[in-house]
Structure 1
């Protein structure tokens, strides 16, 4: 595969800047791309059973063999429930047992779960090792692999334990997306739509017109991924540690994480991107309820999510939900809470999101109560 098929997006963080490479065949090119940046490094690959079965692991090992890059492998169970201390300990133990040094690297070959967990392990073992992201799902290519947020879940909430640890490079092989189920692809698309809804109204309008080609794998797919990565890279460069603007990337996530918690992280009922989709629809509808945005904007968001086959209201989650009080409890556990006041990403219209602090819990409770009846 020639390099001209690859789009490069830079994440500008001074001395810790790195490239996101987006295109087909990047798993096959991994050995040379890693050797370019980390000559003579040995690597530990972390992946899950699904990706190993799909052949991605064998392709990566062959690519590393071509550049004589020594590697070890840890294969974990797939799914959100793997983001726990037991799996973290296994990865850390395997890296130490392989006698990898600080200058060596840990590779995350997988979706958001593998990326978050592996990045956290790389951030803490030997007080910080090199980390390489090789995202294989749409969600991880456009969101979780970019920006250095890593972590695992606590029984008390999602992503509550972790560190910021930036990768050395992100290799986003668009060919890997062909092995995703339609449901996983749709779930990842929610994060693509999110960038338009945050501050790129033209991009959202483009998605409304081109989403079918994004799904079918034409040039629009690579364009959508590159646009999403540029949007995220811009925000991360401005606010690496989420003290300000970066919180905008949580559009839909405060509601979404609460829904994931309320369904017990049961991926048969709800996966992360689906939670985000419903969360974004709720954020737009809540903004309309507070007279911040037009109900027409909320309807437009709901119509697009519905058109692509994503859930957009609470009743779309199979198996029923707890009451509004219980959902509010999950929201107050979220990291977006500061000194007890609720912080939400709300909106004044398509592409006009903003950080709203001190949102009254009573308003959220009343809104959730109403939304449960839709």
Structure 2
């Protein structure tokens, strides 16, 4: 343990008015314009995630600067005309950038190809988070963490970050510096430095459970998700939709089509809204729909084919899905897609296929 102390002061610009104020209120300006902050931090201990929290003016940013110096991330000047994937450091390979973006819950390829300033506030926060983690430093302290996003986005984003750190996708120590206490249970820090009480606590809070509900949907739900799908924004007229909801609000959709025969289905669309990405909601919906089709509708086969890294990772890691094949150049159009050549198919890109284990 180390006690970190920071002294912040500013020089007095002496003037007649300043002297008048000092005399009117009997204020010793030399004393009042100096702030001292001190708190114990576990700088030399073994940990993954830390949290420095306190109201504005409590000294959290000053302590972070004193403790972590240049490792404090205070924002990035994103180029206005470049896609966010092009703004990352040159030495990073595209696959590494994509992995970083997915690990913080920014899993939408269309968003990766847009400039930072056109993204939603929640997407901008996650892009900033990914940029901070692209540093070569072994530790990153993120100042003003979640200060500009709504609280639900802040909570889900914090849970997604912790999930990726626990899974080993992010190999860094991370310190959140924030005035918001509501993210603590979602980020699950290994230690919390409370600037208002001046106390350091070592514990990992239990993350709240998400009450995810899955129900039958319809094509009227699709417009909410269409622009976030990485291929075609349209939904096949013959597709059946299932919707995942949190607090009775739709957050993800899964659509299936009969696959050549009556008792076989293939997943044709799987989309999670950006604010809820990174928590495994899409994977939970996929598993739930597949289980329903097999157990309740006696499907003999449920399959999914795709090239999105998050889908492939989920199916590879899950005992419920079995790898079937890999088509390195995709598949040519057939059936409906041959009759509608304006609809996108997988030709020209690698596609992995998986079958659900019944």
TM-score band (shorter)?
0.3 to 0.5
* Higher-strand-fraction structure: 2
Q: Max radius of gyration: which structure?
A: 2
TM-score by length of 2: 0.35
TM-score by length of 1: 0.33
